[in-house]
A and B are shown apart, each in its own frame.
Chain A
């Protein structure tokens, strides 16, 4: 089956620094990837949709200048949390859509997630 990797699996950083999280589709080309965030005891919340070769589409309330998304190739999307603050501490998880299954949210393949802690 389709595999999506995410790196790092956890990261601790100091307040004010930036952190980059990578999401890779290992055995398929993903024109669209999604970034989610999950706070404790809450549901996965879609942050943005990342489209290869174009700008990401951000959900309402998500600051695009703070959460920079780059989808420069068909197998890699990156999320950079800029000037991180303790309130950005969360679980970030990406997913990729295999284009052979068409549009919509069919057949999303998730990475294992990244636990970010900002001190």
Chain B
């Protein structure tokens, strides 16, 4: 059974602090790892797509790393701002064109 685990489920971070969370996925038959940001009442927004072991991607204060051999990815947010409050979804897709989403990490930035 293909499973994607995200931890923690929920996270409260003080504004200005940095934070990170994890996505674990099957290491076999890997094709791509996706990160999305999902704000309430809006569409999930693609942050990163990573395909190669060791990939690191950055978008402003947000960055992500990928380890396909051990099956995990980290998302980092530097200097958290209120607008970072959202649910961050991780999704794994394999070579059979299957995509599996995690349950998400809900991030709350405290003023």
Complex interface: stretch among A11-19, A68-76, A77-85, A100-108? A100-108
Q: Given A105-B32, A105-B93, A112-B41, check contact A43 B46 (CB 8 Å).
A: no
Q: Given A43-B104, A46-B99, A105-B93, check contact A110 B32 (CB 8 Å).
A: no
The answer on a CB contact under 8 Å between B49 and A106 is: yes
The answer on a CB contact under 8 Å between A43 and B101 is: yes
> Chain B's interface: helix, strand, loop or mixed, by majority?
strand
How far does the Cβ of A99 sit from chain B's closest Cβ, in whole Å?
A: 15
Q: Given A104-B97, A111-B43, check contact A43 B102 (CB 8 Å).
A: yes
B54-111 CB contacts (< 8 Å) to partner A: 89, 91, 93, 97-104
- Which residues on the A side are within 8 Å of B97 (C-beta)? 103-105
Is residue A109 within 8 Å, beta carbon to beta carbon, of the partner chain?
A: yes
State the CA gap A42–B102 with chains docked (Å): 8
The answer on a CB contact under 8 Å between B101 and A105 is: no
> Chain A's interface: helix, strand, loop or mixed, by majority?
loop
State the CA gap A4–B91 with chains docked (Å): 19
The answer on a CB contact under 8 Å between B44 and A110 is: yes
The answer on a CB contact under 8 Å between A104 and B43 is: no
- Which residues on the A side are within 8 Å of B32 (C-beta)? 104-106
Contact partner of A104 (CB less than 8 A), chosen from B4, B31, B41, B104, is B31
State the CA gap A113–B49 with chains docked (Å): 22
How far does the Cβ of B78 sit from chain A's closest Cβ, in whole Å?
A: 24
Q: Given A103-B97, A105-B97, A110-B43, check contact A43 B49 (CB 8 Å).
A: no
How far does the Cβ of A104 sit from chain B's closest Cβ, in whole Å?
A: 6
How far does the Cβ of B22 sit from chain A's closest Cβ, in whole Å?
A: 15
State the CA gap A41–B46 with chains docked (Å): 21
The answer on a CB contact under 8 Å between B93 and A104 is: yes
State the CA gap A4–B41 with chains docked (Å): 14
Is residue A44 within 8 Å, beta carbon to beta carbon, of the partner chain?
A: yes
CB within 8 Å of B: which residues of A? Answer: 4, 36, 41-46, 93, 103-113
Write 12 A-B pairs (CB below 8 A) sorted by A numbering. Answer: A4-B43, A36-B101, A44-B91, A44-B101, A45-B101, A46-B99, A105-B31, A105-B32, A108-B46, A109-B46, A111-B43, A113-B43
